[in-house]
Structure 1
Amino acid sequence: MLQKDKTILSDFPEAIRHEWIETNGLGGWSSSSIIGCNTRRYHGLLVAATKPPAERMNLLSKLDETIITNSSVGPVSYELGTNLYPNNTIHPNGNKYLQHFSKELFPQWNYRAGHVRLSKTIAMVQNENTTLVLYKVEEATEPFTLELRPFVAARGYHSLQHEGPQLQWNAEFENDVFHTMPDGETNLFIKISGATYQHQPAWFNRFHYSVEQYRGLDFEEDLLSHGVFSIQLQKGDSLGIIISTTDPSDKDATLLFQKEEQRKLSLLNNNTDDVTKQLFLAADQFIVKRGDDLKTIIAGYHWFTDWGRDTMIALPGLCLSTGRYNDAKKILSAFAQSVSMGMLPNRFQDNNEPPEYNNVDGTLWYFIAIHKYLAATADEEFVLSELLPVLKEMIDWHFKGTRYNIHVIEDCLLYAGEKGQQLTWMDARIGDWVVTPRMGKPVEVQALWYNALRIFADLLRKNKQEEDAAMVELSAEKVKHSFETLFWNKQAGYLYDVIDEEGTPDPSLRPNQLFAISLPFPLLEGEKAKAILDIITRELYTPVGLRSLARGDERYVGVYGGSPLKRDGSYHQGTVWTWLLGPYADAIYKVGGDEVKEKIKQIIDAFAYHLNEGGIGSVSEIVDADNPHTPRGCVAQAWGVAEWLRIVKEMHF
């Protein structure tokens, strides 16, 4: 079980390094640090996806609790909330009452305040913008009062709120249900059975978000509280609270929670290993609705939407390794409907803005995802009738040329790039500065292109198009020959990272060359593959992923932090990426076979501690390249979870 004891919970700087997140299958979430102190603009008790899976609104930032007991000298108050204000002022410091935090199916807290011991669990309702907060009085020598103060943000999830007339102060409380429309448009309901309500609207100013400060962004926010709820409780009592964008008058918090509990248990597929169970639960958080009957994958929480590249890389682990074949089918269908000029969208945007197509590799990863889907399901009818025509369109466009100068050149390799554009997964850009432009022929793009051709040929053959398949296979062989001629860096003993637009090879030691070994159809085998694996192990491997650049490179940055300029400048210049453990394990197996499975298991097991740091129960997007490999970026990243889970299931660990 993932857990933190009082020693960590009472240590404020350490405690706020750990976060939790619950999601709702729509793209919304509930999240904070494990002591309830919000450290990001993205933390909120109810962050609703108003137009799933996008347009998230941080509606209710938090709900702070106060326990009031009676004593011989009068009422005694214990404020359980924890907030940070300027000058490192912590008020209240309710984390001193926290005894225990754990994450199994849901995040759970245990408080002790005076003679009261109170447990709290937070959950979200699937396919609703609804958060549940459940309390149980474990101990109390006499009745006490629980006061609950909601703090409303009511703003877009990327922005911050500040005191002003833009939020509505009016609210109503009838039949146990509080209702307001803080922004004049969005409903906020809070159902607390048996409570009374005092309307005391007021702004609370200068909540300090330390992670935003570290990220070089604006980091103070004002929140509106409409009033205070009060309820009398005693030992053995339970209290369920529903926070929602829809009227919960006829709903019961306990019944909703039990339904969600059963849903999560059903996801586990009889897995008994604690790590695997957490990975299954983490995988579920990224799979969300798109439209009425399609699905997609959120790339990462808290700030990504669905990205084509991330979705296709993550699909095998999140869907196929967990037996969610129908979800995989719906995701493949959703993206097939968004193909334009032979390209998969790089990302879908908020606010009804059109999709972006600025990537070269996402489209090629689509072929890999389909190949693995077919291997897992044998669903030839769907693949050949619905997807094969889309794949043909993609191949045709790549041969004749599509956006961003993406086209096949005379050696059958794939060229991509225009000045000012970032098209590979190493896509950091600051204004007009593309940090790693990689224009020309990137190494992993050639590996993906070769695999796309081989997969397309296989599907043509399954579709009884033998002559067409043979022609595509001939192109694939030309790719392989050209690749071996151009990319091997004989002096260094590994592959060039890119052959640039002038034909100059880039000897940067990066992990991208792994894909020439790790994909279903490898471009390299034997001694060259072993040499690549050896140098990557020596220079790039860490227990939590692979460095994006070798330490000896003058551009190497060991710690990811600071302003957006500094962060984006280091994003792929050393920073460790957790998802790369997947292709690394694949490459080890391709080189060593069954004899190295124990070595792969040791690598996977060495990563397990990461579930109990950063985003508890999930996998961070990135970590610092230098020790102690501090988690950074998104606290929950789809392809990081997916690749770990995929290796565990494929290797039968």
Structure 2
Amino acid sequence: MSYLRFDKTLMTNLEESLTREILRTNRSGAYHCSTIVDCNTRKYHGLLVIPVPELDDENHVLLSSLDETVIQHGAEFNLGIHKYGGGTFSPRGHKYIREFDCEKVPTTIYRVGGVVLKKEKVFVHHENRILIRYTLVDAHSDTILRLRPYLAFRSVRQYTHENSQANRHYDEVDNGIKTCMYPGYPELYMQFSKNVTFHFEPDWYRGIEYPKEQERGYDFNEDLYVPGYFEMSIKKGECITFSGGISSIDTESLNELFAKEAERRTPRDNFKNCLINSAHQFLNKQGEESYLLAGYPWFKCRARDEFVSLPGLTLSIGEVEKFEKIMDTAVKCVYAFINGEDSALKMTEIEHPDVLLWMMWTVQQYAKFTSKEAAKNKYGQLIKDVMNYLVSGKHPNLEVHANGLVYSNGREKAITWMNSTANGRPVVPRTGYIVEFNSLWYNALRFAADLLADDQDFAAGLQGIYEKTAPSFVETFLNEYGYLLDYVDGNMMDWSVRPNMIFAAALDYSPLDAKQKKGIVDIVTKELLTPKGIRSLSPKSGGYNPNYVGPQIQRDYAYHQGTAWPWLEGFYLEAYLRIYKRSAVSFVERQMISYEDQMTCHCISSIPELFDGNPPFQGRGAVSFAMNVAEILRTLNLLDRYNNQ
């Protein structure tokens, strides 16, 4: 039985099937995302969603969906499904679904009387092209397949509505047509592997609704343009491949191209392989540059997210070369920043004060997976330049104080990973001596001094700082209850029990002794640990708000006030293993197992952005989040190493 198979009972129950989404990407920014019954429930959903750099930095939905109709003896059976007002779904094609399998490629089996039709989808690597292969598995009489494209040609953050400016013109191309609704967009080529007839019947399908947007407090309906429909006969055993892309293709190659692309996919036949497949989807290759997207469907490349995610998404699965390629681009971004140069590179938020410290941690992981010598040869100069930049006080918002700690101003602008804002101000205004910044700072000082010990003057300079940092850290952050203050700014100190202290116990170099680390791990276990990650705030602390629901402002206030984050658990479990060693292995394995049910819900075979902090720990936010996938993979790698000792 397939690891990711869903039967008729689940597929025909919309309360169950509409909550499950699939994501396929081309590794260059484009994607296909929808529910497992192909009913779009978000404005971000679509069959072909691509970046259009000529217009802006957003993704754009060109082809929203492609509705299938099976025709036998003049009777039409519509296999598509859309949500309209009043809770109406039309057509109700999901009732013909017999099973859905997502182990290799998303595969839907429809049964209409004696007709059994199989639909499979793949995204071509590094090309803005979606392929759909239709196979008539069984039929007892002549069968016609009709396909009706729904076009949007709009940003994922907007909607399209019926208008007179939309261009209805189309041109015939090899086994299909090309069309473009608005100036500035690329032409959409819709082609087939066999000869088809296109019937031009332009119309708008009005009032299509997206319930996920309604839940989030946004506008939630739009009109989609249908230029007509394609029609062709299909025989028992025959395969017909559809291509939707922004360039023409040799249609005789489509069936072969589909088979080739399907073969390249990582089989999602177990928990780890699902996560590996998901890890590959975050790669975003733009020309010669490579990035990691922070998540789907709405995130771009964010510097902190990339450095936190990079080891888990590459090194943990043996992809050292991919790590190096992504770091090649990241290094260019780092140098552009520290040299004050303008850059056309696509990494955002690199100015945040902890980003360079996370970069140091990323190189540290590379040193552990390869060797110190390899890290020194490849990144030694980078490490030296970055540490000299920070020590000399050149960073605009990371000041090294005389006590060896680093200070950042976060009163007016969110500067940490807890970055939600409301009314233009941080919901959690963390400022001053911030606990994870200083944990990362101490770790960076010690790692750089160790890696570049041959440069005696450089290493001695860093030693002079970290010997002051360690006692200052303990004096500043450790309170009488055995846990760490979240931030300290003069007389202002945050006593909230938050997860940011876990980094002081998890990082390779820590200013804390073993007893102090154990105290932190124990309180995180007691107050913050859930089956789906580490809470961003203890239920015992003021302002606890664990449910990430409602309109934007309500979600902003809940974002870091009790919601659970899986990526934090990676560091928590690393700290747990450091303290309890082999006796902790079974506990860590149980925590990992608690994520396996996510492979068949929310976004199939991936991990969402966050979870509610209270039972039933519902997944929320972006459907697939890089840091979460990365840290679970890194933890699985740590487990393997402990088990193989």
Q: TM-score, normalised by structure 2?
A: 0.94
In 2, the alpha carbon distance for the partners of 1:578 and 1:384 equals: 31
Name the structure 2 match of 1:551. Answer: 539
Contact 2:107 2:120 in 1 (8 A): yes
Name the structure 1 match of 2:121. Answer: 122
Matched residues, number: 634
Output one character per residue of 1:123-178: Cα deviation in whole Å (capped at 9) or x when no partner.
10001001011111122111211111001111122221122134211112233021
Tell me how far 1:357 sits from its aligned partner.
Answer: 3.8
1:277-356 matches, within 5 Å, as: 277-290=273-286, 292-339=287-334, 355-356=348-349
Contact 1:344 1:362 in 2 (8 A): no
Tell me how far 1:66 sits from its aligned partner.
Answer: 1.1
Name the structure 1 match of 2:482. Answer: 493
**Are 2:57 and 1:58 aligned?**
no
Partner SS, residue 410 of structure 1: coil
In 2, the alpha carbon distance for the partners of 1:241 and 1:394 equals: 50
Contact 1:177 1:249 in 2 (8 A): no
2:416 alignment partner, one of 405, 421, 424? 424
Tell me how far 1:235 sits from its aligned partner.
Answer: 1.8
Name the structure 2 match of 1:376. Answer: 369
1:513 alignment partner, one of 501, 523, 528? 501
Contact 1:416 1:439 in 2 (8 A): yes
Name the structure 2 match of 1:220. Answer: 221
Output one character per residue of 1:252-283: Cα deviation in whole Å (capped at 9) or x when no partner.
22222222233224xx7xxx971111111111
Partner SS, residue 87 of structure 1: helix
Contact 2:528 2:537 in 1 (8 A): yes
Query: Cα 1:369–1:356, aligned 2, differ >3 Å: closer, same or farther?
Result: closer
Contact 2:410 2:430 in 1 (8 A): no
1:87-106 matches, within 5 Å, as: 87-106=86-105
Tell me how far 1:96 sits from its aligned partner.
Answer: 1.1
Partner SS, residue 339 of structure 1: helix
Aligned-partner residue type, residue 189 of structure 1:
Y
**Are 2:190 and 1:190 aligned?**
yes
* RMSD after superposition: 2.2
In 2, the alpha carbon distance for the partners of 1:96 and 1:525 equals: 61
Aligned-partner residue type, residue 543 of structure 2:
R
Q: Bigger shift: 24-33 or 466-475?
A: 466-475
Tell me how far 1:505 sits from its aligned partner.
Answer: 2.1
**Are 2:332 and 1:359 aligned?**
no
Contact 1:25 1:287 in 2 (8 A): yes
Name the structure 1 match of 2:549. Answer: 561
**Are 2:554 and 1:600 aligned?**
no
Name the structure 2 match of 1:390. Answer: 382
In 2, the alpha carbon distance for the partners of 1:404 and 1:550 equals: 32
Contact 1:9 1:98 in 2 (8 A): yes
Output one character per residue of 1:100-130: Cα deviation in whole Å (capped at 9) or x when no partner.
1121122111111122111111110001001
Name the structure 2 match of 1:645. Answer: 633
Contact 2:191 2:251 in 1 (8 A): no
Q: TM-score, normalised by structure 1?
A: 0.93
1:448 alignment partner, one of 440, 463, 467? 440
In 2, the alpha carbon distance for the partners of 1:368 and 1:534 equals: 24
In 2, the alpha carbon distance for the partners of 1:609 and 1:534 equals: 26
Contact 1:336 1:387 in 2 (8 A): no
Output one character per residue of 1:430-454: Cα deviation in whole Å (capped at 9) or x when no partner.
2322101101111111111111111
Name the structure 2 match of 1:471. Answer: 461
1:35 alignment partner, one of 34, 37, 44? 37
Query: Cα 1:470–1:379, aligned 2, differ >3 Å: closer, same or farther?
Result: closer
In 2, the alpha carbon distance for the partners of 1:477 and 1:342 equals: 29
Name the structure 2 match of 1:586. Answer: 574
> Sequence identity, in percent?
33
Output one character per residue of 1:25-75: Cα deviation in whole Å (capped at 9) or x when no partner.
1011011011111011110100113349954221101101111122xxxx2
Contact 1:558 1:625 in 2 (8 A): yes
Tell me how far 1:583 sits from its aligned partner.
Answer: 0.7
Aligned-partner residue type, residue 472 of structure 1:
L
Partner SS, residue 24 of structure 2: strand
1:516-555 matches, within 5 Å, as: 516-555=504-543
Contact 2:24 2:281 in 1 (8 A): yes
In 2, the alpha carbon distance for the partners of 1:380 and 1:154 equals: 51
Tell me how far 1:531 sits from its aligned partner.
Answer: 1.8
Aligned-partner residue type, residue 19 of structure 2:
R
Aligned-partner residue type, residue 235 of structure 1:
K
Contact 2:409 2:431 in 1 (8 A): yes
In 1, the alpha carbon distance for the partners of 2:599 and 2:279 equals: 13
Query: Cα 1:356–1:275, aligned 2, differ >3 Å: closer, same or farther?
Result: closer
1:405 alignment partner, one of 397, 408, 413? 397
1:457 alignment partner, one of 449, 453, 467? 449
Query: Cα 1:343–1:647, aligned 2, differ >3 Å: closer, same or farther?
Result: farther
Contact 2:301 2:346 in 1 (8 A): no
Contact 2:176 2:196 in 1 (8 A): no
In 1, the alpha carbon distance for the partners of 2:396 and 2:544 equals: 28
- Stretches of structure 2 that go unaligned for 5 or more consecutive residues are none
Output one character per residue of 1:300-359: Cα deviation in whole Å (capped at 9) or x when no partner.
0000011111111111111111222122112112111112686699xx99xx99944442
